[in-house]
Amino acid sequence: MIKHIVMWKLRGDTPADRQAAALFLKSRFESLVGQIPGMAHLEVGLDCSQVDYACDVVLYSEFESQQALQAYAVHPAHLRVRDELGGMRIARHQVDYAGGAARAAGS
């Protein structure tokens, strides 16, 4: 299982502008559910901390394999969503990692 996490800081002159952008981004990525072979899970969260250093949106997704994640990156539906978001972001951070069940410390 490959876990794919992306966080964005979004453009907007006001908190309301950034919230609207975050809701749009969330809806567009959620539209991918069921369209991407090998995508096992997709979840989009909006920041509620409102600290100045926080990102506005996080995407958490799981893929059956590294190949499935690579196929997602070039899938037409994903590319369409990416293009729709255009210049909404001012920063993007990503982590991909292989993961299974969590283990307790000291196990």
Inside any domain, residue 103: no
CATH assignment at residue 44: 3.30.70.100
Domain range for 38 is 2-98
Q: Is 67 domain-assigned?
A: yes
- Classify burial at 92, counting beta carbons within 10 Å of its beta carbon; exposed 0-12, middle 13-18, buried 19 or more: exposed
89-98: strand order across its sheet = 39-46, 57-63, 2-10, 89-98
- The number of domains in the chain is 1
104 within domain boundaries = no
pLDDT of residue 107: 47
Task: For residue 107, tell me if it sits in a domain.
Answer: no
pLDDT tens, N- to C-terminus, the chain (107 residues)? 999 999 999 999 998 999 999 999 999 999 999 999 999 999 999 999 989 899 999 999 999 999 999 999 999 999 999 999 988 999 999 999 998 755 555 54
Distance CA 99, CA 79 (A): 25
Q: C-alpha angle 48/49/53, rounded to 5°?
A: 125
- Give yes or no for a contact between 5 and 85, defined as CB atoms under 8 angstroms apart: no
Q: Which long-range contacts (CB under 8 A, 24 or more apart) does 11-20 make?
A: 11/87, 11/88, 11/89, 11/90, 15/50, 18/56, 19/46
Q: Give me the amino acid identity at 19.
A: Q
